[in-house]
Structure 1
């Protein structure tokens, strides 16, 4: 850990980490809280919301090369506020954290960046849209067309993305409930990107094409105190339909929710209990047992599929550790997608 990373690490509210994964169930006193009925405003809401404690711009992509080999790409920028008041320069309470990864059938590359807010090293602007940390960037006039780049010590990528469908709002018009106690976030996605570009891997550059999915979410306390983590799926089926589904694991039981997305962008919000997410197989990864093969059942839409990890090795050994990687879909529907698992 370098000196800058060490001091940024000390600035995080360490005492709250036990309250849900990465402290996301911790006390949010003084911060704004999501409320139902919020009217999204674009392009403003593509930018940051500093009165809320946490926020992210989260892009994943399922890609193939000319020979049909599968790859996954992740690019994420997290914003975390230490307090609900804003200041300039080094006094800014905003902390930024970037994660990037490339996954192949047998290898997982990842990197992490950290920055204190207010000094220009990281941030987001809404118009024109740009999210960056150091030389990593996601930028475009708006979210319709983006360029994406990141690099680590042994990988990198430069990709172009073009939206082929509308933004999608989860839950009740973007108000996404996360627990029986009412914890919630504002949550929308752009799941209709086509992607093309270059992966820079050891000893070779690889041209790739595929599909991308961007998640935008912000809140101040998205987890209940007893919720230890989540299992989140973004699935794109070969017929053009899509499914976002998650399971939040808690001492009082699991909480689930899903959004069914038609090929034309029409959505159906599905409440707790509608989707069944069942682990079928685990692998021992990073000294813990991680479920890397899942059955996903959504009877209302005739979905009964198995999502299998491209590789079990997709462990993000970052400041807050988690598993994130591409999956292939078989069963009643075929396709590809992404799986994220935290709190294991």
Structure 2
């Protein structure tokens, strides 16, 4: 088992210096700090959290709650959060709640029992998850929310979902499309109503009224549900000339449904998504890009600043700009 002394020996410093680098409680020259961090990485050293918790009253561990690990947004966020936390001497425990409040609550109780210092949430359903967050705050746990709005608007880091929907509408209209559908997931997730609101505002700017018959809600958790829904709409005779799919996973399934029906993208129906995750380029998907890495880094750094008493535990919501990434689907 690698010890702190092993790290000190490899880095050519004292064990006290390694402790200072890990705790960040005392200044260390940057060259020395980098040498220690490189030694930690080379030896794959992990601090003894139990011993440190007894000594310092904290574990330097963060809990990150992921609603659905199959959505590729969350592996991206997880990697970024872990990297940012590690830079500051913190570890991260990941919990996939599967969009279940019951699982979420069970994870919270387990992590509280292991003396996790703070939490990062990508929330489940509005109103339900908020009670969990409020309860944790009342117990004195610092909590930060990312990517998804909830009823607790402090310490929240999100993309500008409404403006993203607006951009999608304006982009499609400028391409000459007028009969535009939208496909979205659970409306209890705030991001979908926000994107829909922006989308409708974009239509209204060109004097276009929202068509309820072209607003298609689906259960995104069910495999092939998006494809089934879009195929059914096409069979019923609906022929939008463009579709705003309110996430990239939805957009890819929309494309599959269109081509399986014998139509072409974008010649017959243009498709624009929302996310710009890694595989979006492989599907030549025009999409609204969210700054995942920046959001993850900023949220993690802010939580650590709260834990280290360098920031107020109550900060207003931070909203990040989005932009269109143009490819071949629209």
Do the structures match in fold with TM over 0.5? no
Q: Highest CA radius of gyration, 1 or 2?
A: 2
Is the strand fraction higher in 1 or 2? 1
TM-score by length of 1: 0.25
TM-score by length of 2: 0.26
